[in-house]
Structure 1
């Protein structure tokens, strides 16, 4: 069962998922700390390149299935034009109202 984005517990994560699902790169980037980092399947990636390639130029979308850790750990069905649909895990580190790091990978 999908959790409605509006019901996600952490307000910063909720805003990030909302921005992803709306295809709003500007809003998503606005939620990131200046020195934010990320990893995909355990390997650090260039954040700007990755979000463009995996989310914003390929119509990425998250349908959240579960949340834990106060809403900062998600399991979601992630879909984009490149890979189709995959079950993914996401973990967000939020400091001072900004995402300082997120980690994703297959769940």
Structure 2
């Protein structure tokens, strides 16, 4: 059973999921701080390259299974055209201005 995106506790994380699922790169990039960082399975990656490859050019989609840490950590069924469907965990660091300064994802 999944959580409806509009019910996610953290508004910035909610907007992130909406942007990913809509393949809206403009809205996605607007959520990030300048110099934002990310990691995939524990390895730092270039955000622009990774998100283009894993999300935007491959029809990435997030179905939220559960949330914790006030909505800053998500358990997600993620799917894209490259890898198919996988269970992943996402953790977000949000700054005081409501922008994402870092996110980490990986197999759950």
- Normalised by the shorter chain, which TM-score bucket? over 0.9
DSSP-derived class of the 2:37 partner: strand
Q: Check if 1:106 corresponds to 2:102.
A: no
Q: What are the ranges of 5 or more consecutive residues in structure 1 without an aligned counterpart? A: none
Q: Could you tell me which residue of structure 1 aligns to residue 49 of structure 2? A: 49
1:35 positional shift = 1.0
CA RMSD of aligned residues (A): 0.4
**TM alignment of 1:1-107, pairs within 5 A:** 1-95=1-95, 96-107=97-108
Distance 1:45 1:13 in 2: 19
Distance 1:52 1:37 in 2: 15
Distance 2:92 2:25 in 1: 17
Once the two structures are superposed, residues 75-95 of structure 1 have per-residue CA deviations (whole angstroms, 9 ceiling, x without a partner) of: 000000000000000000000
Per the normalisation by structure 1, the TM-score is 0.99
Q: What are the ranges of 5 or more consecutive residues in structure 2 without an aligned counterpart? A: none
Per the normalisation by structure 2, the TM-score is 0.98
- Length, aligned pairs only: 107
